[in-house]
Amino acid sequence: MGSMGKPNKVLVIGGTGYLGKRLVQASLNSGHDTYVMHRPEIGVDIEKIQLLLSFKMQGAHLVSASFDDYQSLVEAVRLVDVVICAISGVHIRSHQILLQLKLVQAIKEAGNVKRFVPSEFGTDPARMEDAMEPGRITFDDKMVVRRAIEEAGIPFTYVTANCFAGYFLGGLCQPGFILPSRERVTLLGDGNQKGIYVDEDDIAAYTLKAIDDPRTLNKTIYVKPPKNVLSQREVVQIWEKYIGKELQKTVLSKQEFLAVMKEQNYAEQVGLTHYYHVCYEGCLASFEVDDDQEATKLYPEVRYTTVEEYLKRYV
């Protein structure tokens, strides 16, 4: 509920995507007046249509607008108080981060938006100025969008949600795997660098809590559930306990990883760069987060899914 006790009007852009559909659901669950933007022509993408209709049947409003039609963006954001953007920042899907510059312009022109949550939800780009090529483009582009938001004076919240559980836990922190093996695992380096794993539904729940919270205005919030700050070895141990046996372990050194990475196509290299910084350098857990910027401390009423609970579904 808004600070005045009335629901917000929330627009989700990218609402049929991997995280976007969860943000729409969390908004509906929170009782907000929920708007979902979609392109005027969806063709025969039946999955997308049926997902949009399922939201509509739960009370969401479908808004036809497009990044190719600036005026339609202005009209879409005029309908609401809060804009959450979840367009893809993943190169193996489609990297669209800079499209948001048009959205920033539209929000500025409309002048009515009380909070903008741009497409972030991963590693904090402000801490990645030394990131490696080619993966640093993700962080560089997100910083371009942040600067535009701040220059336009748009009220914002940046949500840094670390590792999506579906990818990182499903694959036991191995790039290119999303189902855990019962036989073997490749450890990245010593396997002792800490990562932070978050259930995607929890990312959405925390984001929806933050949109009208005065404490998160013009701030970055980090989703760092204390029980989910674990190394690859610790994740593997939880899985081994479930299946009652030890996996065969191979170690992939830093040098070997980088050599393999160089042979992949550009999109794959971008993703592998991110795994490198997380799994070999421990970039996510290498700094302290203040309680007033950490989602599980700000919103103790949200019961997050632990790594242990999350891995159970694969048994």
Identified catalytic residue from 9, 21, 108, 142: 142
Asked about 142 being catalytic, the answer comes back as yes
Q: What is the DSSP string of 184-226?
A: EEEEETTS-SEEEEE-HHHHHHHHHHHTT-GGGTTEEEE---G
Nearest Cα neighbor of 138 from 302, 315, 294, 270 is: 270
3 state DSSP class of 284: coil
Q: What kind and span of H or E run contains 106?
A: helix 100-110
Q: What is the DSSP string of 243-270?
A: HTSPPEEEEE-HHHHHHHHHTS-HHHHH
Cβ 298 vs Cβ 210: under 8 Å? yes
Phi, psi angles (nearest 5°) of residue 21 = -65, -30
Q: ∠ at Cα 248 (247, 253), nearest 5°?
A: 115
The catalytic residue positions are 142
